[in-house]
Amino acid sequence: MKRLVKDGREPGSEVTSRGQRILVVEDEPDIAALIGYQLTRAGFRVETTLNGVEALRTVARDIPDLIVLDRMLPGISGDEVLSRLKDDPETQGVPVLVLTAKKEREERIAGLELGADDYLTKPFSPRELVLRVQAILRRAREPGRVSAGSKVLRMGPIHMDVSAMQVSVSGEDISLTPIEFRLLHAFLESRERTLSRRQLLEKAWDVEADVSDRLETRTVDMHVQRLRAKLGEAGDSIQTVRGFGYRLKKDLE
Ligand code: CA
């Protein structure tokens, strides 16, 4: 995994992350213990469950700030857990970092379409895991912290108030995830300029991208599709530039 969190700050350096609760769902005790140790050291409160049923029960009792979810679990799979979390209005907003084994990546890419916020391929460095978790929580906390540019962006029926983190289409408010918000912001700022998947990953995910990785490009595609759907008819203004990326069409009315 060549992808690294951009700012490279030390794990645990973010005082604001302290006390946030993370649920780790991992059936391999050694890995679960390692993740728990690293996240605890970084100031998080960590709860670990060894299977999906227990994970869903734990979430139902008390919704965590973030879930680290292994895909390969006994009983119900990580994908199934993710799907149930995303189907439930109570839990669909909880960020999920998915852990996936290298061999299951290509054939099981579909799992990501269920709505993971990010993923890590095993084996991963514990430091990278902590940085990813911090980056996801930072985005969730401040989706509007995208750039020092203009505070209100608009194009056709799309209106974005950056500091209020509000987006409306033809006057109707729509609800976007932090990633969708940041993607739309990148499009609105770039106007007709085409953005590569790499640029979108860097802008929206705040990471250095490895675009030779098919999973990376699929991740971008999936989130752009979701954004398009939420924008309704205005979503058609996000055009696919084959083999390269996307652009927002200017003359939208
Ligand atoms: Ca496992």
Quote the Cα angle for 133-127-39, to 5°.
55
More confident residue, 119 or 45: 45
- How many whole angstroms from 246 Cα to the centroid of ligand 1? 35
Distance 13 CA to ligand 1 centre (A): 29
Determine whether 44 is exposed, middle or buried from the number of CB atoms within 10 Å of its CB (0-12, 13-18, 19+): buried
Specify the fold of 152-248: Arc Repressor Mutant, subunit A (1.10.10)
What confidence score (pLDDT) does residue 87 get? 87
Read off the pLDDT band of 190 (50, 70, 90). Answer: confident
How remote is the CA of residue 25 from the centroid of ligand 1, in Å?
Answer: 9
Q: How far is the CA of 46 from the centre of ligand 1 (A)?
A: 18
Strand partners, 178: none
Answer whether 230's CB lies under 8 Å from 180's CB: yes
Residues 14-47: tens digit of each pLDDT: 444 568 999 999 999 999 999 999 999 999 999 9
Q: What is the CA radius of gyration of the chain?
A: 18
What is the CA(57)–ligand 1 centre distance, in A?
A: 18
What is residue 24's predicted lDDT score, i.e. its pLDDT? 97
- Assigned token pair, 206: 């705040």
Distances (CA, A) of 204 to 59, 69, 201: 27, 22, 5
**Domain locations in the chain?**
2-141, 152-248
* Superfamily classification of domain 2-141: Response regulator (3.40.50.2300)
Say what the pLDDT of residue 178 is: 82
Expressed in angstroms and rounded, the spacing between residue 230 Cα and the centre of ligand 1 is 33
CA of 137 to the centre of ligand 1 (A): 24
Query: Measured in angstroms, how far is the CA atom of residue 210 from the centroid of ligand 1?
Result: 25
pLDDT of residue 69: 95
Cα 194 to averaged position of ligand 1 atoms, centre (Å) = 39
- If one compares 208 and 168, the residue with the highest pLDDT of the two is 168
